[in-house]
Chain A
């Protein structure tokens, strides 16, 4: 018997409001309908009417989870237009903030999946690790989530030596704990039997549907802007290219956990070799005419900010979240799957549309 089953607009598996209607026959999902647009705030339109000083506040609030990456892309685009250079210390600290945000985002995604799988103990451990990471972020920026850290030509606040030492201690511990957690979890039967071969998206389909970011890397698409077109300080540190080929929920979870581990390692290395020198950014109030476009690798996939200035104000701002899982990806992931696995599959792709719906 065919029936419809709604998932959302609000559901623990969804990181932002969206509506997924599952069309199921028995316990097999036949097709889905997906409706987005619940988070549209017209930020790109509103920013054009703001002066630049006020725009930073709004840019940092496009997405609560990926706030720093939006600010980073925006700031880099402004710097490209204004011809500003960034001192090495500020570049390194921006990269540290980006990796901490990546770790926190990945830990949140995996924790939700384990919660939906009924593995509450692992979920609590992952959330505890996330708290350590957010505490480190608070040491660096003064905020846990909406960090408001990047400024054209530098950063908002510097890190003292004492804070750096405290941050290193804060980051080393979750890295070691995460390693043990991954080691214990990947062979747990209660975990593997619900995720191996579930929600598979193989590489050809992923390429066709334009999947990028961690979901694409879990399907074998070896692309990561941090290594393909390095920005900030990524060319100075070795970023481990984590990829999986399975394309299933297991591959996605493993990829997120391994990338989290690598992010924490990166943060340690960057803090240990933090250069001294200038760091302070400035509020740019006037821009020369021109266009600039910057793409950064956010935790959920690439984010692109394109700015056009006529010399007096911004005439165009285009925000694109290339990694946001859209309805084609969700259809490919969910069709043919068991209804009981739908929430787990959706959670494993970190279905956040906030970045895409400016």
Chain B
């Protein structure tokens, strides 16, 4: 298995290097197809495990460091196999979507796909590694791939610098490795690990920065990159160790999860940019993992796995759809997102479906998952209302973006048209969520792998449909009330410029809600605000030395790193 995984990884690396070398000579579209083909080939890995051709665990000693053996061990049990399948599927969709958006004649953008392959390589190492050194190597490689993608797609060289976020991730990984020889033994680091993940995936000020890199390119680095892998590592760690947790640890995990959910949702509602909202939503989604384990129930493991896969699929869809919106409007601020000459229907529908699933609305998979999380908490009667409140806030946070997909200008341009290309990719993913929502029991069986093990009790189909109808009626009523309260917007006439920024297009209740919630996110002054400021200062401090790695110099770093990895592997 180790040979197979290493062979596939080295093959992927060679494909990435070939794509890099051919970038200027071969059309980007062809290179994108080659990368997608390479990713499809990788699906053979989970397929081999499912067909029983792989041992559950294997490894080898990679080298020694300070007389300590560095062992690379890989696990191919049901969790990494299942998650890697979903993760690879999302990566394939992103790769195909990216290839199609560059057109047939463009050249010299092959490095985007080389970066994507390196990111996938790092992700696979992280997913399958059973030792911290492998996880560390994987996270570093993932960061490197994401950085290459971002460097290649920033419009101005002043933006092509590295962020402090990966540095913090690596520091955390080193900390874990230094403190514990195995993942399972990292109990003492459970709390800091959770807090670190919460900070890294959304609360770090990285999300507040602007960049001209299209969101479509940022999708793999955010939706599939380090945040999701952090969530996966947490699930793996918690699945192994949760039965041994003390009551205090379980309560602390639950508290962190609930806080993360509420903070993420509030942050998303109060966000003023697409990316800020996306990061808040991702924090809330990943916090549900901690909530699940915080209930202390035995069924928490499978549910968390389902939630993780659900987060991967919805984040990818949202990033792809929102990327198209950002690309068409050339803006990512809610206040200034211009109306579209034509609605982005396919992307908007995909975004809406993903948002519904994330908010836990039927008949999508998110509803079934949210329902079983609620059923898990009989000992915490306060939990269901809090979860419902968090889910409602989360649902509200998706509205501004969703409206932007369909908002039309008051003045209809006679010739303006919007390219709809690429909108179908996220819809493809949504089909899976819809199917998963309609037949959740089959999904549980697939996750568990063993038909004899009983999964969590999913709601019956009749309940799903009746709840869906009720929700639809409530949403329609809410929409009618909103319409009645909507601001009378002045027409686009020439009365001295555009109207004053009143968060145009949003309804009064939404503006009021944002105004009420914003002080909770950034109190002036307050501990959270102070933390934010501190993180911003750290980011500046860390990112300054990385200015040296701008442009071609970072490529030198990549080459040196790859040579080092290959030499160590050969050793």
Interface positions of A (Cβ within 8 A of B):
23, 25, 29-37, 75-77, 79-81, 83-86, 91, 153, 200-205, 207-210, 212, 221-224, 227-236, 241, 243, 290-295, 302, 304, 306, 322, 326-329, 331-332, 335-336, 356
Closest 8 CB pairs of A and B: A30-B24, A76-B497, A335-B108, A326-B155, A204-B103, A79-B496, A335-B107, A205-B103
CB distance from B95 to the nearest CB of A (A): 14
- Identify which of B24, B327, B416, B493 contacts A208 (C-beta below 8 A): B327
A/B pair count, beta carbons within 8 Å = 175
- CB atoms of B335 and A293 under 8 A apart: yes
Interface size class of B (residues with CB under 8 A): 35 or more
Given contacts A86-B494, A202-B105, A327-B157, 5 further A-B contacts (CB under 8 A): A83-B496, A202-B104, A202-B106, A329-B155, A336-B108
B25 adjacent to chain A (CB < 8 Å): yes
Known: A33-B552, A222-B417, A241-B414. A202 touches B495 (CB 8 A): no
With the chains together, A209 CA to B214 CA distance in Å?
Answer: 8
- Identify which of B157, B214, B330, B415 contacts A227 (C-beta below 8 A): B415
- CB atoms of B106 and A227 under 8 A apart: no
List of A residues within 8 angstroms of B489 by Cβ = none
List of A residues within 8 angstroms of B214 by Cβ = 208-210
What are 22 contact pairs spanning A and B, CB under 8 A?
A: A30-B25, A31-B23, A35-B551, A36-B157, A37-B156, A76-B497, A79-B496, A80-B497, A202-B104, A205-B103, A207-B328, A208-B103, A224-B416, A227-B415, A229-B339, A235-B492, A294-B497, A294-B498, A328-B153, A331-B109, A332-B108, A356-B156
User: CB-nearest residue of chain B relative to A206?
Assistant: B103
List of A residues within 8 angstroms of B103 by Cβ = 202-205, 208
- CB atoms of B498 and A76 under 8 A apart: yes
With the chains together, A84 CA to B336 CA distance in Å?
Answer: 21
List of A residues within 8 angstroms of B105 by Cβ = 200, 202, 205
B500 adjacent to chain A (CB < 8 Å): yes
User: CB-nearest residue of chain B relative to A212?
Assistant: B330
- CB atoms of B24 and A84 under 8 A apart: no
With the chains together, A81 CA to B101 CA distance in Å?
Answer: 39
- CB atoms of B415 and A77 under 8 A apart: no
- Identify which of B107, B330, B501 contacts A292 (C-beta below 8 A): B501
- CB atoms of B330 and A210 under 8 A apart: yes
B102 adjacent to chain A (CB < 8 Å): yes
Residues B151-175 near A (CB distance < 8 A): 153, 155-158
User: CB-nearest residue of chain A relative to B111?
Assistant: A31
With the chains together, A207 CA to B216 CA distance in Å?
Answer: 12
Residues B220-243 near A (CB distance < 8 A): none
List of B residues within 8 angstroms of A76 by Cβ = 496-498
CB distance from A29 to the nearest CB of B (A): 8
CB distance from A1 to the nearest CB of B (A): 14
List of A residues within 8 angstroms of B497 by Cβ = 75-77, 79-80, 231, 292, 294
With the chains together, A275 CA to B184 CA distance in Å?
Answer: 80
Interface residues as binary, B333-372 with A (CB distance below 8 Å gives 1, 0 otherwise): 0011011010000000000000000000000000000000
With the chains together, A33 CA to B212 CA distance in Å?
Answer: 17
Residues B124-172 near A (CB distance < 8 A): 153, 155-158
List of B residues within 8 angstroms of A326 by Cβ = 155-156, 212
- CB atoms of A35 and B157 under 8 A apart: yes
B499 adjacent to chain A (CB < 8 Å): yes
- Identify which of B409, B421, B501 contacts A293 (C-beta below 8 A): B501
- CB atoms of A331 and B108 under 8 A apart: yes
- CB atoms of B415 and A222 under 8 A apart: yes
User: CB-nearest residue of chain B relative to A202?
Assistant: B103
- Identify which of A30, A80, A212, A293 contacts B108 (C-beta below 8 A): A30
B411 adjacent to chain A (CB < 8 Å): yes
User: CB-nearest residue of chain A relative to B419?
Assistant: A207
Interface residues as binary, B474-504 with A (CB distance below 8 Å gives 1, 0 otherwise): 0000000000000000001111111111000
CB distance from B267 to the nearest CB of A (A): 21
B85 adjacent to chain A (CB < 8 Å): no
Residues B94-128 near A (CB distance < 8 A): 100-109
- Identify which of A81, A223, A294 contacts B341 (C-beta below 8 A): A223
- CB atoms of B24 and A25 under 8 A apart: yes
B413 adjacent to chain A (CB < 8 Å): yes
User: CB-nearest residue of chain B relative to A236?
Assistant: B494
User: CB-nearest residue of chain B relative to A332?
Assistant: B106
List of A residues within 8 angstroms of B100 by Cβ = 204
- CB atoms of A291 and B335 under 8 A apart: yes
Interface centre among B330, B492, B497, B501 (most CB of A within 10 A): B497
